[in-house]
Amino acid sequence: MIKVAIDSNVLFSAFVNQGGVARKLLVLAGEQRIHLGVPKYCLLELEPVFRDKLEQDWERHYRQLRDWVNTYAEEIIYPRGKMLNRYKDYVVGDVFDVPVIASAIEWGAEYFVTGNFKDYRKEKVELHLKMISVRQFLNIFQAEESVD
C-alpha cells in the first residue's frame, strides 16, 4: 500500500471542504487504499487554525479530525533534537515546516502531498520522497490502479 504523508494545509482543506479534491485523500485512506500519515505537528498546528476559522464550533470539528486520524490514518510522531536538525535546510524560511517534512521522511512516505511548494526545497525533499500536489497524486494513483 502506498504511504502518503499529508501537509497541514491539505489536511485542513480535505476535512473542511467536503466536496473538494483534497477530500478524496481522506476517502482513499478510509477505504484503506492508501496508508495516510499525518505528522503530529500538523495536528498541533491545525488547532489554532480551527479555532480562528471555525469560531464557536471549532472544538467539535477539531475533535472529529483527531478521531478521524486515529481511526483511518497514522499519526506520525515528529523527530526531535539531532534528527530534526538534519532537515532544517529542507525548508524555506518557516522553521515550523521542519518537523512536518522530517516526520514524512523518517516515516518512510513515498509521497508528501502539499499545496505549499514554496515552503520546501524540492531538490532536498525529493532525495527521499516525491513532493506532489493533491491532483498530481490522484492522477498517479488512478494510473497505478488501472495497471493493477
Structure confidence by residue, pLDDT tens digits, 90-107: 999 888 899 999 999 999
Residue 143 belongs to a domain: no
Residue 66 belongs to a domain: yes
Residue 145 belongs to a domain: no
Whether the per-residue pLDDT at 147 is higher than 80: the answer is: no
pTM for this one?
0.93
Residue 121 belongs to a domain: yes
Residue 146 belongs to a domain: no
Confidence of residue 77 (pLDDT cuts 50, 70, 90): confident
Domain that holds residue 17: 3-137
The length of the chain, given as a count of residues: 148
User: Residue 55 has what pLDDT?
Assistant: 82
Whether the per-residue pLDDT at 44 is higher than 80: the answer is: yes
Average pLDDT over residues 124-147: 92
Q: How many domains does the chain have?
A: 1
Environment class of 16 (CB within 10 Å of its CB; exposed 0-12, middle 13-18, buried 19+): middle
Residue 53 belongs to a domain: yes
Of the chain, the percentage scoring pLDDT greater than 70 comes to 99
Identify which has the larger pLDDT, 2 or 55: 2
Whether the per-residue pLDDT at 88 is higher than 80: the answer is: yes
Whether the per-residue pLDDT at 145 is higher than 90: the answer is: no
CATH number of the domain that residue 67 is part of? 3.40.50.1010
User: Residue 86 has what pLDDT?
Assistant: 93
**Greatest distance between any 2 Cα atoms in the chain:** 47
Residue 58 belongs to a domain: yes
DSSP per residue, 14-51: HHH-TTSTTHHHHHHHHTTSSEEEEEHHHHHHHHHHHH
Residue 45 belongs to a domain: yes
